[in-house]
Amino acid sequence: MEYTIKNQQLSVTVSDFGGELRSVRGGDGTEYLWQGDPRFWKDRAPNIFPYVARLTGEKYTLKGREYQMKIHGFVKYTTLELETQSEDSLTFVLKPDEEIKKQYPFDFIYRITYRLQQAALLIEHQVENLGEERMYFGIGGHPGFQVPLEQGLAFEDYQLKFSAPCRPWRVGFTPDCFLNGQDQEYPLKGGQAIPLRHSLFDQDAVVLKHADREVTLCSEKGSRGVTVTYPDFPYIGFWHKPETQAPYVCIEPWSSLPSRKGIQEDLSQQSDLICLEGHKTWESCWKIQIF
């Protein structure tokens, strides 16, 4: 089932399946969100929890037991319950059933709230640990945005521009998208921008660390764009389907990274995962602003 919230500047539709964004329209009707053409990518904006990207063999261990989990965790494959709805906000909730506990043996509550703030959409995450023991997780977003956003412009007319000069490093990945430990500095045009070209993604995602926490998809030839602000997330990924002319780009705030190549990770030992003590709550927020 889908739900819509709107104001004069923004109309947002969300599905209860995965709590996934389905539409982000400006006041003039412009659709900013990728609409899931299966020729390139059938999703639109999956939510990532409790593991970011790939596990070696789709498996991990915890306390000597082995568990299986698909890429980006189980939220994207699960129907969430609509908990609250108002004129400008929607909150969806997920509590684990037996099938989820086979994948992830914790007692928790996962919430995601979409909240309008003029021309911005706030995406608020909340994770409650209901158990006694520490839980480990990764979390993030995976929205795709249409490129170009205006008639007469091309994909190559756009850039991803950080709000301030920075010197990010690109996280090293193997061809099958696991960590290889070979991170390297990633130069930006003018110390601030990544000009878009389709071949940028021929080796899959570009994932950066030590970057500024705000980036804008924009064109000097156009007037429309999208700014994504992610103060609580140390990694940012950019992606479209490799070796295609896909007319979109994903901007992905990540809290953590995938498994190392050939290693079945123990969640309690993976240093970049969020560690949440028993009976505690973790919260974060990131933002999509259109213009």
pLDDT in tens, 81-116: 999 999 999 999 999 999 999 999 999 999 999 999
Q: Looking at residue 99, what DSSP letter applies?
A: H
Beta bridge pairs of residue 236: 208, 253
What is the pLDDT at residue 106? 98
Q: Over the chain, what is the mean pLDDT?
A: 97
What is the pLDDT at residue 277? 98
pLDDT by residue (tens digit) across 259-271?
A: 999 999 999 999 9
Q: Which two tokens stand for residue 158?
A: 């756009």
Contact 59, 71 (CB under 8 A): no
What pTM was computed for the model?
A: 0.96
Residues 6+ apart with CB under 8 A from 128: 108, 109, 111, 280, 281
The whole-angstrom distance between residue 217's C-alpha and the CA centroid of its chain comes to 15
Q: Which two tokens stand for residue 31?
A: 């659709």
CA-CA distances (angstroms) from residue 159 to 69, 225, 247, 274?
Answer: 34, 10, 13, 31
CA angle 22, 150, 48 (to 5 degrees): 30
What is the pLDDT at residue 13? 98
pLDDT band, very low/low/confident/very high, at 142 (cuts 50, 70, 90) = very high
pLDDT band, very low/low/confident/very high, at 12 (cuts 50, 70, 90) = very high
Residues 6+ apart with CB under 8 A from 64: none
Q: What percent of the chain has pLDDT over 90?
A: 100
Distance of alpha carbon 59 from alpha carbon 143, whole angstroms: 25
**Mean of the pLDDT values across residues 218-225?**
98
**Mean of the pLDDT values across residues 220-249?**
98
Amino acid identity at 109: I
What is the pLDDT at residue 154? 98
Residues 6+ apart with CB under 8 A from 207: 170, 171, 173, 235, 236, 237, 238, 254, 257
Contact 56, 263 (CB under 8 A): yes
Phi, psi (rounded to 5 degrees) for 121: -115, 120
Q: How many CB atoms lie within 10 A of CB 115?
A: 18
Phi, psi (rounded to 5 degrees) for 267: -55, -35
Strands laid side by side in the 120-129 sheet: 81-85, 89-94, 108-117, 120-129, 281-290, 226-229, 214-219, 158-162, 193-195
